[in-house]
Amino acid sequence: MKKAVPVEELVARIPSGSTLMIGGFMGIGTPHRIIDALVATGTGELTVIANDTGKQNYGIGKLISSGQVKHVIASHIGLNPETQSKMFSGDITVDLVPQGNLVERIRAAGFGLGGVLVKTGIGTLAEEGKQKVDINGEQWLLELPIFAEFALIHAHQADYLGNLAYQLTATNFNPVMAMAASTVICEASEIVPVGMITPNDVVTPGVLVSELVAMPHRHH
C-alpha cells in the first residue's frame, strides 16, 4: 500500500537542476497541483520534457513565468509567447522534437529500447548530428531514448496500490512518461479504495508509481 503524501513534501524532494517529464497536452492531463507547489518552492535550473509549454501562466507556463526552467524538450511551445521571448533572449534553450518522435523516444526509454528509427525529420534541421541507418536502401533516422529523473503525471483515478486509470484525452503523455522516469509522482482527481478500479481499466500499474499526491483538504 502507498501512503498519499502532501504535495509540498513531494516537490521539496525535487532538487535544483532536475530533469522532469510533465504529462498533459495544452494543460489537459497536466498535474496542476504539483506545478503550483513546484512554483512555490522556487526550485530552478529545471529541464522540462513535455508536449508543450501550455499557455502563459497556465500549466507548464507557470514554471516558464517563474523563471525556473532553463531547458525545454517539446513538440511545440504551445500558445505561450513567454516561452518564445525567453527562447529568443537565450534565457531558455528549446529542443523542438516532432510529436510522434517525442513520444516514441520516451516510450523507447520506458521499454528498454536502444532508440527508434523514423522517417520524420529527414532532410530537415531535425536530422542534424543524428545517425542515419540504411534499411533495404532506405534512409532512416535514429532517435535516441529520452529518460528523466522525475515524471510528474496526472490520472483520473488512483488506488492505494498506485494503480492508475485515465480519462479520455487526458491520457495523452501520462502513461508513457510513467514508464520512463526514475521517480514517478502522480496527482489523481480522486483516490479510491483498492479494488474500485477494475483491472481492465488500469493503464499504469502501481509498481511504476513512486508517490501519490494526497488529496487537498476541502474547507466546508
Classify residue 218: in a domain, yes or no. no
pLDDT tens for 37-58 read 999 999 999 999 999 999 999 9
Total domains in the fold of the chain: 1
Classify residue 139: in a domain, yes or no. no
Domain membership of residue 87 as a residue range: 4-99+145-213
Give the model's pLDDT for residue 1: 87
pLDDT above 90 covers what percent of the chain?
Answer: 92
**The C-alpha cell that represents 143 in the structure block:** 532517435
Classify residue 135: in a domain, yes or no. no
196 contacts: CB under 8 Å, gap ≥ 6: 157, 159
pLDDT tens for 30-42 read 999 999 999 999 9
Average pLDDT for 193-202 = 96
Give the model's pLDDT for residue 193: 96
Classify residue 136: in a domain, yes or no. no
Classify residue 85: in a domain, yes or no. yes
Sign of CA dihedral 188, 191, 196, 202: positive
Give the model's pLDDT for residue 220: 46
Binned at pLDDT 50, 70 and 90, residue 73 comes out as very high
Indicate if the pLDDT at residue 197 is higher than 80.
Answer: yes
Classify residue 118: in a domain, yes or no. no
Average pLDDT for 59-71 = 97
pLDDT above 70 covers what percent of the chain?
Answer: 99
Give the model's pLDDT for residue 218: 65
pLDDT tens for 129-175 read 999 999 999 999 999 999 999 999 999 999 999 999 999 999 999 99
Classify residue 204: in a domain, yes or no. yes
Indicate if the pLDDT at residue 217 is higher than 90.
Answer: no
**The C-alpha cell that represents 19 in the structure block:** 530533469
Average pLDDT for 73-88 = 94
Give the model's pLDDT for residue 173: 98
pLDDT tens for 8-30 read 999 999 999 999 999 999 999 99
Q: What is the mean pLDDT of the chain?
A: 95
CATH of the domain at 40: 3.40.1080.10
Sign of CA dihedral 10, 13, 18, 19: negative
Classify residue 115: in a domain, yes or no. no
Indicate if the pLDDT at residue 219 is higher than 70.
Answer: no
